[in-house]
Chains A and B, each alone.
Chain A
Amino acid sequence: MSDESKQNIDELLSGYVDGELSKRKYNELKRLMEHEPELAEKFSLLKKQRQLLNAMPVETVPEGLFDAVIASQERKFILDEYSASSGESEGIKHLMFRRALTAAVIFVLFGGLIGLIVHIVAPVQQTEPQNYAAGTVDEEDPLFPPLKNIDVPVVAADTPVFRASLDLRTEQAIAMNGYIMKSIFTHRLNGFTDPPVNEGTSSTIRITCGIDSIVELLADLQGEWDKCREANLSVYDHALAKEIVIEKISSTQLMRVFKEDKFYSRMQIARDYADFNKLNPYGSSRLAVNDTIPVAAVKPELTGSKIDRKDRLEGGEKISLVITVTGL
């Protein structure tokens, strides 16, 4: 007989003794006992055991139980009263408050100490000019939304940023790139330039620095301009909220754009050149180095001659220029 069935039979026998079985189970067990003397013997013993326990003499509770209960209650009541009147609970609350306060002060001091240690130990993050975070600048400034296809350098929020992208297409890409890098090095702009990014036949560099340095760099490029088959300049027009593309820009035009002292006059010239070049395409001919600017295209009052150079130097205007050289 398995343990489980033995347990079931024991439970049935127990229920039988107690008269707690249903009629069906009662009859079933009765029949079983008639055929199994061991079971009947067990039942008899259980029954006797139960009778014996049931017949155990009833002890009388010690006298004075009720008085003891009442006395105990009174003692408890008096103690509670004393506790309330002596301000014990208030004292406990006060103590708990003081403990909590002490814990909070220790926690704050500990936190401060940790902060101080971290401040001393942690390396200082240096903000370098070439440390750009694309797409993070001027995002909240409606005047300066990020340029498409042009990575945005990090600059001071109060300084207007003239963002431009110069795309040069040349058959001598390696030489052109070398020359640009040499110029960057010569003008000590390497600290303001991101490492070149090469993709296929294109090489892109990003420079963010003062306008004077950019002008000097571009002036150097004039000597190599004839190596370029095509040059396009894109600038972002904040007023029109779109990119202005000056197609097939000449080196002279380029210099004129960047030599403008004021941001808005520079933009105006860029717009004029963009319109002019669309109407007067150079076709596939090589770019003219000394391409003259049509007088009508530039509004005289916006040209740089009238602007104080000192203003440009002290204004701290930053230019972001992306130069892409694509090999043909």
Chain B
Amino acid sequence: MEKQLENIVIDDAVLVRQCQDGDSAAMQRLIVKYQDRIYNVILKICSNKDDAAELTQETFVKFIEKINTFKMQSAFYTWLFRIAVNLSLNFCRRRFKIKMHSIYTSSGPEGENAREQLRSFFADKREVDPLVAAQNREVGRILVDALGRLEDKQRAAVVLRDIEGMAYAEIAESLDVGIGTVKSRISRGRENLREILKTVLKS
């Protein structure tokens, strides 16, 4: 019975109110609920697991510190993502340039195999299961590297849209920009990503 109750999805707003009242169990629930999503978004933005883990921790520390200032005027998760994206973008700026291994130098049979897999994925006119392609470890690495080559703001917008699956309005709220800017950043980011992947696949 208790197990069943625990599985009930509790509305974010209720948990937030409980957090604001100092309920640490509610805090834990919210953290557990969003930790993977936040971690993945940060990881795609900063391209490094250790940095992503640290930034995720920092995001939730900030969440605890600032939860009393949250006025419920927006969705909780867009507010949380805003903290995560801002921390990540600041981190990227501090680091000046994302340290990444070049996607052009990936050699060896694994790298070549991944590129070949991607090439056939894009060339195939039929519907191919993208999950199969993306689950290849090397393909995933190429994609993360290609994302890492995008401009920080474009990368954040593309990640929130294509990986996190947020709506334009939610992205606008998370990035604290207008919807027009979001559209523009996503469009340019995708176009640039397409160019980067085209170059990789031709090499």
Contacts and interface: CB of A to CB of B under 8 A. Distances in A.
A68 B32 CA distance: 13
B36 A60 contact: yes
Nearest to A19: B167
A50 B183 CA distance: 15
Contacts, number: 112
Contact of B122 (A7, A48, A61): A48
Contacts of B40: 58-59
Given A20-B168, A48-B122, A53-B158, A65 B190 contact: no
Nearest to B58: A72
Contacts of B140: 56-57
B185 to A, nearest CB: 10
B5 interface: no
B20 interface: no
Interface string B1-44: 00000000000000000000000100010011001101110011
Interface stretch (A10-18, A159-167, A257-265): A10-18
A51 B165 CA distance: 11
A247 B140 CA distance: 117
Given A20-B168, A60-B36, A69-B31, A50 B56 contact: no
B88 to A, nearest CB: 15
Specify the main secondary structure of chain B where it touches its partner: helix
A54 B165 contact: yes
A68 B43 contact: no
Contacts of A7: 184, 187-188
Given A11-B187, A59-B43, A53 B143 contact: yes
Given A52-B121, A56-B140, A56-B143, A61 B158 contact: no
Contacts of B35: 61, 65-66
A157 interface: no
Interface residues of B, number: 48
A53 B162 contact: yes
Interface string B47-75: 00100010011001100100000000000
B135 interface: yes
Interface stretch (B76-84, B94-102, B106-114, B126-134): B126-134
A219 B161 CA distance: 110
B85 interface: no
B156 interface: no
A57 B168 contact: no
A182 B194 CA distance: 106
A136 interface: no
Contacts of B45: none
A102 interface: no
B175 interface: no
A46 B186 CA distance: 11
Contacts of B139: 52
B176 interface: no
Given A50-B162, A53-B158, 16 more contacts: A7-B184, A14-B186, A14-B190, A45-B122, A46-B190, A48-B122, A49-B162, A51-B130, A52-B134, A53-B163, A56-B143, A57-B134, A66-B28, A69-B31, A69-B61, A70-B24
When A and B form their complex, which 5 residue pairs have the shortest distance between CB atoms, in order from nearest? A51-B130, A55-B134, A53-B162, A14-B187, A61-B39
Interface of B: 24, 28, 31-32, 35-36, 38-40, 43-44, 49, 53, 56-57, 60-61, 64, 118, 121-122, 130-131, 133-135, 139-140, 143-144, 147, 158, 161-163, 165, 167-168, 183-184, 186-188, 190-191, 193-194, 197
